[in-house]
Amino acid sequence: MSLISIVVPCYNEEESLPLFYQAILEMKSSLPEVDFEFIFVNDGSKDNTLKIMRSLAQQDANVHYVSFSRNFGKEAALLAGLAHAQGDYVAVMDADLQDPPALLPEMYETLQTKMYDCVATRRVTRAGEPPIRSFFARMFYKLINKISKTEIVDGARDFRLMTRQMVNAILSVQEYNRFSKGIFGWVGFRTKWLEYKNIERAAGQTKWSFWKLFVYSLDGITAFSTVPLSVAAVMGMLFCFLAFAMLIFVFVRALIWGDPVGGWPSLVCIILFVGGIQLFCTGILGQYLSKTYLEVKRRPQYIIQETEKDYLDKTE
């Protein structure tokens, strides 16, 4: 009998977690030949998320959890969940039920054909999202696919079901600055995409603000493309060429018309513009340098404070 591990990163999901657990139990009847295990990852929640995980672990031996010492971010939670999953197949899902559990039977049956190593999902609509967020999300996917050799599908969700071989490949990528959507594509393997319409959260509030999504997109760009570095170099050469051309123009004009160079306001504007470009290019270099700095320190991606084994041993 096959075992499917369901990895669920959680941050302040006390309202959604019981609903998610019940939804998976209802879905299990569609796959009687499969066993399930839950791998909940508490990413430093400040509500009763950990308390609910403890309760579920007490009543169901198939529920396992990992609780961090603080909030390390969703990427760290995904990594921890994959590292603790024991299943022949591993599913990554969100607790808010925006990833419909009803798709799991179809995903499992697809992998049984041996034609694919992963079945992933993508949203074909962004109904319910603020228009400005949807616009920038589409622009991000267009940009990253133009400047990166790793394909990242527009609307791709983390929700996917993977074979053990693919999960092991993902775990072998031990970089500190992780961008899972890119890593899923970088490791390769045959992937089938399932499309579905956007689903609203079952409960609770989204933890992703516009600013957090913007920073996350920068992480993705710096993790899977060095094109911005080339852009900085090209802009430097372009401005050197423009400066040389303007020098010749001013020299020739002075020789022919004897017109002294004037206009300090325009000069100030040019200086500010060029200074801005220099700071922009320096910022690009700083982004890559900061990522390198974090990598070479070799800090762990997360620190575990408690697991269900620790809790159950204390209560016995």
Write out pLDDT tens, residues 136-195: 667 776 666 676 676 777 667 888 899 999 999 999 888 888 888 888 888 888 888 888
Choose between 101 and 311: higher pLDDT: 101
Q: Please say whether the beta carbons of 225 and 148 come within 8 A.
A: yes
Between helices 210-224 and 264-297, what is the axis angle to 10°?
70
Tell me which of 3.40.1710.10, 3.50.30.50, 1.10.10.10, 3.90.550.10 is the CATH number of domain 2-209+300-313. Answer: 3.90.550.10
pLDDT confidence band for 8 (50 / 70 / 90): very high
> Does the pLDDT of residue 209 top 70, yes or no?
no
CA distance 200 to 98: 6
CA distance 179 to 156: 13
Q: Please say whether the beta carbons of 194 and 120 come within 8 A.
A: yes
CA distance 242 to 247: 8
CA distance 28 to 30: 5
For the ranges 11-20, 76-85, 205-214, 240-249, the lowest mean pLDDT is seen at 205-214
The answer to whether the Cα torsion of 159, 162, 168, 173 is positive or negative is: negative
Pick from 183, 220, 225: nearest CA to 79: 183
* DSSP helix/strand/coil, 142: helix
∠77-83-87 over CA atoms, to 5°? 115
pLDDT confidence band for 101 (50 / 70 / 90): confident
**pLDDT at site 139:** 73
Secondary structure of 248-266 as H, E, C letters: HHHHHHHHHHCCCCCCHHH
pLDDT confidence band for 273 (50 / 70 / 90): confident
In what side-by-side order are the strands of the sheet with 34-42?
191-196, 118-123, 156-163, 89-92, 2-10, 34-42, 63-68, 304-307
Pick from 234, 209, 220: nearest CA to 291: 220
CA distance 51 to 12: 11
List Cα–Cα distances, 282 to 79, 140, 226, in angstroms: 32, 22, 14
In the chain, the amino acid numbered 184 is F
**pLDDT at site 67:** 92
CA distance 77 to 79: 5
> Does the pLDDT of residue 95 top 90, yes or no?
no
- 182 CB neighbour count, 10 Å cutoff: 21
Domain ranges of the chain: 2-209+300-313, 226-297
Query: Two tokens at 304?
Result: 């575990």
CA distance 57 to 53: 6
> Does the pLDDT of residue 267 top 90, yes or no?
no
Query: What pTM did the predictor assign?
Result: 0.73
